[in-house]
Amino acid sequence: MPRRCVPSARRACWYIRAFVFDAATPGRGPHGIQGIFVTHAAVPARQRLRGAAGALSAAAAVLASAAHAQAAPPQPAGAGDWNGPLRAPLQLQGTVQLQEGVPPEQAARRPVHLSGQSIEGSQSGPVRVRGNARLRRADALIQADELHYDQASQTATASGQVQIEADSGRYQGSALQLNVQTYQGHFDDVRYQLRESRAHGQARRVDFLDRERYVVHEGDYTTCQRSEYDPDWRPAWRIRARELRLDRVADVGVARGAALEFMGVTVLPVPYLSFPLSDRRKSGLLPPTLGLDSVSGLQYTQPFYWNIAPNRDATLSPTLMARRGIDLGGQFRYLERSFSGELAARYMPSDRLRDRERWSMAARHRHTLHSPLGDIQLGAQLNRVSDNDYWRDFPRSGYGLNERLLPSELNARWQRGDWQLRLRALKWQTLQDADAIILPPYDMLPQLNLRYQPWALGHGLDLHLEFDSTRFRADRDFAAQLTDGQRSYALARLSRPWVAPQGFITPAVQLHASQYRFDAPLSGGLRRHSRALPTYSLDAGLVFERELRWLGRDLLQTLEPRAFYTYTPYRDQSMLPMYDTAELDFTFASIYAPNSFVGHDRIADDNVLTLGLSSRFLGAGDGAELARLSIAQRLRFEDQRVTAPGVAPYTARWSDILLGGAINWSPRWASSGIIQYNLDERRTARYTLTGHYKPGDYRVLSMGYRMKADASKHAELGWQWPLAWWGDAPGQGGRWYSVGRLNYSMRDKKLVDTVVGVEYNGCCWIGRVVVERLQNSARNANTRLLLQLELAGISRINVGSNPLNSLRNHVPYYQEIRPQNLPPASRFSEYGQ
């Protein structure tokens, strides 16, 4: 470089020179801007070098431009240097955000930049930088009071107030020795913060094994964010360990001689603890669960999670129950390209309360088979328990095993175009209660169903064809009351809907033909029976609209009258078993149905006209429904003689009146209700009224009242509401919440279901305490105490079963409170500060 400044006694000249600090081959000739020295014109380059602030600023500007430019592939030495023009121009690559991490192979080719108030050294030898000393590289920045850099070994030694900014995190300490190429070294008296999880801690010493693995000696780990303005700040929780190994590649932290502290109190001392550094799955012991149950007594569960593969895992959950004994449980899940499923099982060798072994099993499998004729969907479901009392003794069993009717099923389904074929076998296990005997449903062994429903039949017609043949088998314990048999039916339905903005009309005709064959003769010696029944229906409605203004808001009101007529002639069906048939509940959906039964063993001899009227209030601007009011009643022209066994014919000409409505009073207030009123007896047969107030997140009050004449009356109250707070973000900081649901039986004058709890959100942890009392029979109830401590970035520690499941299942509109979720920090946010 030609020098135009002539040094004199009054003037010193400073020059920016470019030298090679090639990480791969140190000591080679000029190869581009890979290092900066500020040299004095009157002093030899290999002697003392002192930096000037102005020259360093200029150097930083040059390097800032070069650091953000992505050059073309490297050229041979001398192809582009300060002695001649560059033969290949720089090429810039656009990016939406700065790249946090730099691949090691790229970082090895990137330059090392040194800057500071005073620099001593040579182009190829050791360099010492003092005063705001900095070493920059593509993947890291080291700042210190004093820094030494050896080009030959690529080792940096720093002292004073040392800080490292890297893609993995930020580290602050008193003394550092680090190889900038291999990232091996050690750091003393360290405070660290990881970028991705924002976890941080402090340690006596940190050993860097490579870019992704560290060993922390006599340190701690927490995700609670430090308060810089509180000199007495301490994390709500932390893992304190004699040795803490962090592996970012395996996403695992391993602590030895560890203890989990909460609010300064050791809650879980363990000699060995393995935990994930993010939300990814990993094998290992999960936090134990302690339970207190009014029936089973004290319970202790120690789950073990096995991450078999990215698409397979298993959880083993042995449980010790003080009053019952040992319960061995496990779950296995799998996910493949064409099939998936899960398997769960529990086994108790000896239940001391029941004096027998107990077990349960649940399985789900879904499989897709590809064929030239179309995909075949296969499914399997298994639900089995050991005895009739299982649902009562273990009411929190998953997979629906706490129900009294447990289905097991194999099915195959094929669909192509307008055709659909289904084959299945269904078997039930019925858990009986001496106080409430259930008539078991029939098993279907097997069922074949074929459907044809063309999308474009032409002329606006809709056609539905269906054929079904099912073999029904009764529970052996009820063989005297039930009859095995084979039922086949064919169903054809043709309709022609006319739909317009002002209304609709849909005439339809249906033919249902069925044949029965019974294994044993029915009363009267009947072994076979056939029937064919047509059904005619006409459904019509009109839509009227008007604009109005109410309470200062423009609205659109509709008036929608509807009439539905259906006729089916009478056929005696009283001799037929009800294999899969039941009477429909009286609702707005069933009152407009052509058959008052669901299933195919009863087709009601309806000659009825249903009249209804609905009105909706819509926002004129956004179309949001503010209110809906409906009324409907059925007029019967003839007696309905087809009924369920033991039910008298329906002779009343007018049915009960159905009244329903839903009103959104405001974005916060809403209510709904449905009333069934018996006009002849001048009394309400049943009604359900509900309402809720939800002014914002984590704030909701819900109320309900349900009544069925001569049967039950229940009042219900549910809530989730903040009690007090210290912060601004609902659900994310220092706030107490009350949550619960009360279900009171006015007939029995007692609470039948009670769930009451409190939650606290401490940003990096959440605490929950829930008391649950649920009725499991007419005379018995089960009470549990559930506690949970959720630590952000670690796991959930439960005392009792997970209280979240209880809150989700029983509290209406419950919204889960989550720890504060901060975005990953960026190494560029403080880069160069």
Mean pLDDT for the stretch of residues 541-555? 90
In 3D space, the residue among 286, 331, 283, 287 whose CA is nearest the CA of residue 310 turns out to be 283
Share of the chain above pLDDT 90, in %: 47
Sequence spans of domains, the chain: 111-210, 230-279, 542-569+581-695
Q: Do residues 56 and 38 lie in contact, with contact meaning Cβ atoms separated by under 8 Å?
A: yes
Write out pLDDT tens, residues 88-114. Answer: 555 665 554 555 556 666 666 678 888
Highest mean pLDDT among 269-278, 557-566, 643-652, 776-785: 557-566
Q: What confidence tier does 166 reach under pLDDT thresholds 50, 70, 90?
A: confident
In 3D space, the residue among 240, 242, 197 whose CA is nearest the CA of residue 220 turns out to be 240
> How confident is the model at residue 66, as a pLDDT?
32
Q: 420 pLDDT exceeds 60?
A: yes
Q: Do residues 147 and 156 lie in contact, with contact meaning Cβ atoms separated by under 8 Å?
A: yes
Q: What confidence tier does 72 reach under pLDDT thresholds 50, 70, 90?
A: very low
10 Å Cβ neighbour count for 567? 17
Check: CATH 3.90.700.10 for 111-210?
A: no
Residue 214 half-sphere exposure, CB side, CA atoms within 13 Å?
27
Q: What confidence tier does 661 reach under pLDDT thresholds 50, 70, 90?
A: very high
Residues with Cβ within 8 Å of 28's Cβ and at least 6 positions away in sequence, in order, are 20, 22, 77
Which H or E run contains 534?
Answer: strand 528-542
| Joined tokens for residue 391 | 């649902």
Mean pLDDT is lowest, of 263-272, 465-474, 567-576, for 263-272
AA identity, residue 677: Y
The Cα 322–Cα 535 span in angstroms is 62
Mean pLDDT for the stretch of residues 71-88? 39
Q: Do residues 109 and 116 lie in contact, with contact meaning Cβ atoms separated by under 8 Å?
A: no
Q: 766 pLDDT exceeds 80?
A: yes
> How confident is the model at residue 103, as a pLDDT?
61
Mean pLDDT is lowest, of 23-37, 396-410, 627-641, 761-775, for 23-37
Question: Higher confidence at residue 654 or residue 284?
Answer: 654
Average pLDDT, the chain: 82
Mean pLDDT for the stretch of residues 609-630? 93
Question: Higher confidence at residue 782 or residue 439?
Answer: 439
CA of residue 63 relative to chain centroid, distance: 46
Write out pLDDT tens, residues 204-253. Answer: 999 989 888 989 899 888 888 877 677 778 888 888 899 989 888 888 88
Write out pLDDT tens, residues 431-476. Answer: 998 878 888 999 999 999 999 999 888 889 999 999 999 999 999 8
Residue 653 half-sphere exposure, CB side, CA atoms within 13 Å?
1
